[in-house]
Each structure stands twice: as structure tokens, then as C-alpha cells.
Amino acid sequence: MTTPAGSRRLILPLIVTLPVLLALLYLGTWQAQRLGWKAGILARIEAAEAGPALPLPAAPVPFTKVEATGRLDHAREVLVGLEVRGAVLGARLVTPLLRDDAPAILVDRGWVPIEGSRPIDRPEGEARLTAWVRPVERIGMFSATDNPAARRFYTFDPTVIGPALGLPDLAPFGLVVLGDGRGLPETARRLPRPSNNHLGYAITWYGLAAALAGVFLVWARRRLKD
């Protein structure tokens, strides 16, 4: 039989446990909401990839598939980042796309090995590119140091790369060429997909909440019996 004194002994543990339980439930619900939000983003990416490329607007939405025309200025191409494919160290080959009556755009044409003898395709004349819109990156605390003199950069930031190439008025975004991935540069074949781990996170938080509630109930039952 539960006594008033026994019930009172549960008040402090309950006060401590309840906020933790509510916090775990909140985190689980938040992750479930983000799961729906991320699923919507992935669905839009799938639809954009399956549909036709849109004419490039002045202020495009990141990660949309667009079509742009201009002349690739191969004389001012740069390497951006580091990426290992197989056992070969490479980087992204980025080339300005010069346009009439519009700012030039930095175009990520694809992956190339830093050292190698394979020929790299550099088309001349007007180019019509199908690409996805790449947002600007910002240099962070742990970013590698750029080497503008060697045209070697580790952050995709037109405000940094442009002046080093004598192009201070680049568009505030970039393009990543879409293609079949054959030859050099090895172009992207698909639009990027953000990771979607929110279901696992939601299950984790809700599982911890259920475990906490179960442990507390078992402990409280034993405490009341004692």
C-alpha cells in the first residue's frame, strides 16, 4: 500500500526526470519534422533532375538545374579543393564563363587529376552548358590556405577567386556542369542530394525517452513497495 511519505519521496526524482523526458520528446518531434522537410527537398531535386534545364535567371535558386551560354576562358582556369578518386589525387577544374552584358560565372567543369598526362577537353567558341547552381562557400577557421599565385584554391568563393583572376565582378554563385562523367574533366552526373538521417535521429530520441520513462516507472514502483 502506498503511503503519503512514499509518494513524497518520488516528487524530487520526478521533478528531475520530467524535464529530461520532455526534452527528449521535443528532440524526437523536431527530427520527425525535419524528416518531412528534407523529404520535400529531395523530391524537388528529383523533379528538377528529371525535368528540362531552366534558362539561367539573374538570381538562381541553389541546386536547381539550369542552362547557360557563354565562352569558357580556359586561360584563367583554377583548381579548387582536393578529392581522391581511386588512388588518384585530384581537384575541381573551375573556369570562368564569359557572357555578353552579364557578369562572368565560375563554372566547375568537373574533376581532374592534379598530376597526369591524360588530355583535358577545353572546348572553344560559344558553349551551352547544362549545370546545377552551386552556392558560395566561405572560408572557415579550419579551411586550407589558398594560393592565388598558383591558382590553387580550397574554398569556392567568387569574391576571393575573381580578383585573383582579374575578374572582380563575378556572379555571386557558381555552376557545376552536368554530363556523362566520361573523359576529363569528369563531370557530375546528378544533382547533389543532402543526407537524410532524420528518421534514425527521431527513433534515437524517442527510444531514449521511452527508456527513461520505463526506467523511472520500474524504479518508482520498487521505491513505493519498499
Q: For every one of its 226 residues, what pLDDT tens digit does the chain have, with 9 covering 90 and above? A: 555 655 677 888 889 899 999 999 999 999 999 999 999 888 888 888 888 999 999 899 888 999 999 999 999 999 999 999 988 999 999 999 999 989 999 999 999 999 877 899 999 999 999 999 999 998 888 888 999 999 999 999 999 999 999 999 999 999 999 998 888 999 999 988 888 899 999 999 999 999 999 999 998 888 877 6
CB neighbourhood size of 99 (10 A): 15
Q: What is the pLDDT of residue 2?
A: 54
The DSSP output letter for 144 is P
C-alpha to C-alpha distance for 181 and 187, rounded to whole angstroms: 4
The SS3 of residue 9 is coil
Quick one: pLDDT at residue 112?
Answer: 95
Number of Cβ atoms within 10 Å of the Cβ of 153: 26
Q: How far apart are CA 45 and CA 222, in angstroms?
A: 54
Q: Provide, for the chain, the percentages of residues in helix, strand and coil under a 3-state DSSP scheme, each rounded to the nearest 5.
A: 40, 25, 35
CB 91 within 8 A of CB 111: yes
Q: Which grid coordinates are listed for 8?
A: 513524497
Distance CA(84)–CA(200), nearest Å, equals 29
The single-letter DSSP state of residue 120 is -
**Strand ranges for the chain from DSSP E:** 54-55, 65-72, 78-85, 88-99, 102-113, 126-134, 152-153, 174-177
DSSP code at position 180: -
Q: How far apart are CA 162 and CA 174, in angstroms?
A: 12
Residues with Cβ < 8 Å from 139, sequence gap 6 or more?
146, 155, 157, 160
